[in-house]
Amino acid sequence: MKSKIFFLILLFFLLIIVHPQCIGATDVLTLTDTANRGNIEAAYTLAEQYASINELPQSFEMASYYYQIAANGGHAMAIYRLGVLYELGIWLPKHGILALNHYINASNKGIGMATFRAGLLFDGNPEIIANKEKAKLFYSRAQKLLEKDAKLNNVEAMFGLSQMYLEGRGVSQNITRGLFFLINSAKAGFEPAQYELAKLYDRGKFLSYNNDKALKWYRVSAKNGNPNSLYHLGRLAETGKGVQKNSTKALELYKKAADYGSPQAVKYLLKRFSPEPWRVLGVSRILGWHHRLADRGDPEAQATLGDSYREDDEVPANKTLAFKWYLKSAEGNSPRGMKGLASLYDRGIAVDMDKKEAFFWYVQAAKLGDAEALYETGVRSLTGNGTVENKEFAQKKLLKAANMGYAPAKEKLKTI
């Protein structure tokens, strides 16, 4: 169940990076001026441009700003897009309830994809009380809306239906019908459908394994700007699977994929050139990778930026930026971000020293099972550092950290 939900979330993340028609520099200025004057259609169009890879620098900060302007004016699709940003924590804080509210609002305006997402959230989300009856109602409404839009050749609606039928979400699973909508959406140029189709051929899921067709659709998807498709093309070039083996070409593809924001490519390259990737790949390039991923809401990339701006020898220190990125990472439920934020409060770096706030963030990270945070929580509870002194509580946390193999906790327990 969890894997299916995660799979769907990844797919819907792709929906906000589809590629609207590119616009020229003069048109951008005119569009921006019109959007800033409160024109909701201009604001929505500009938001779509910022959320895509085209002439404008991709920026989910700017995208969310203009989506909000359009949404405030009642633009249904802008309301839906904001829901996606809230659900996935892309630039905006991850917030299931706000996402659901936006989906319901957009659903009431007839947006089928928003209706489907509302059904998924009612079906299972940690922030929302499960309600199978409501989920069923939203799924049923979503199917009707998407079927209607698909008949009008709406490629996004076709893709949504493909996910409903392939995964059996709100409908009886129907592989044939799901593939029908997916293939038609892909052939009509919808990039997320093209990428999904490539993966199915590549993995032999729902379709017979076909390396040639996987390669074809990865190339089409990559041409339309999907960085993860570039990563997979690099993987195929490196292994010689279906193409001539070419390590040099593979590395070029991996780097290009990372430049365009593929988390898989970034992780691969950092691991490949460890322990000093900065020296091989360049400081500014790697920093750019992490900024792009952080802007899309990747909490680990945000934590890495916090670390880099705080004390990395290769990056000029900027304590204010360190705080900004640690906070965003913490809001995305990253123990690294929480611990980084705690350390800033603990030492008064970029913020006023606040031991209670430091303890609070260590506790949040400890709740997620982080051994170092459990240790810090225990040690601080021993002496009442930022909290009430509680030796029983402290021993419990230290023991848990020690059982996880955290050496400092083992040593501390010997002194109690």
pLDDT of residue 366: 98
**Residue corresponding to tokens 């327990």:** 413
For position 20, what pLDDT does the model report? Answer: 52
pLDDT at site 53? 65
Which residue from 331, 191, 332, 163 is spatially nearest to 260, judged by alpha carbons? 191
Report the candidate in 112, 98, 90, 41 with the shortest Cα–Cα distance to residue 70. 41
DSSP track, 319-365: HHHHHHHHHHHHHTT-HHHHHHHHHHHHHTSSS---HHHHHHHHHHH
- Residue 190 contacts residue 18 (beta carbons within 8 Å): yes
Domain limits, the chain: 1-151
Residue 22: predicted pLDDT = 53
Residue 297: the pLDDT is 84
pLDDT of residue 89: 83
Place domain 1-151 in its CATH homologous superfamily.
Answer: Tetratricopeptide repeat domain (1.25.40.10)
Report the distance separating Cα 367 and Cα 164, nearest Å. Answer: 34
Structure tokens at 22: 């590119």
Question: 146: Cβ–Cβ under 8 A, 6 or more apart, which residues?
Answer: 112, 113, 116, 157, 160, 161, 164
State the pLDDT at residue 11.
42
Q: What is the DSSP code string of 250-299?
A: HHHHHHHHHHTT-HHHHHHHHHHTTT-HHHHH-HHHHHHHHHHHHHTT-H
Torsion over CA: 237, 233, 218, 206 (sign) = positive
Q: What is the pLDDT tens value at each position of the chain, 416 positions in all?
A: 444 444 444 444 444 445 455 555 458 889 999 999 999 999 999 999 888 865 556 788 899 999 999 999 999 999 999 999 999 888 888 899 999 999 999 999 999 999 999 999 999 887 888 899 999 999 999 999 999 999 999 999 999 999 999 999 999 999 999 999 999 999 999 999 999 999 999 999 999 999 999 999 999 999 998 999 999 999 999 999 889 999 999 999 999 999 988 999 999 999 999 998 989 999 999 999 999 899 888 999 999 999 999 987 677 889 999 999 999 999 989 999 999 999 999 999 999 999 999 999 999 999 999 999 999 999 999 999 999 999 999 999 999 999 999 999 999 999 98
Q: How far apart are the first and last CA of the chain?
A: 44
Do 280 and 255 form a contact (C-beta atoms < 8 A)?
no
pLDDT value at position 8?
Answer: 46
Q: Are 253 and 231 in contact (CB under 8 A)?
A: yes
**HSE of 58, CA atoms in CB hemisphere, 13 A:** 23
Can you tell me the distance from the alpha carbon of 94 to that of 333, in angstroms, rounded to the nearest whole number?
A: 9
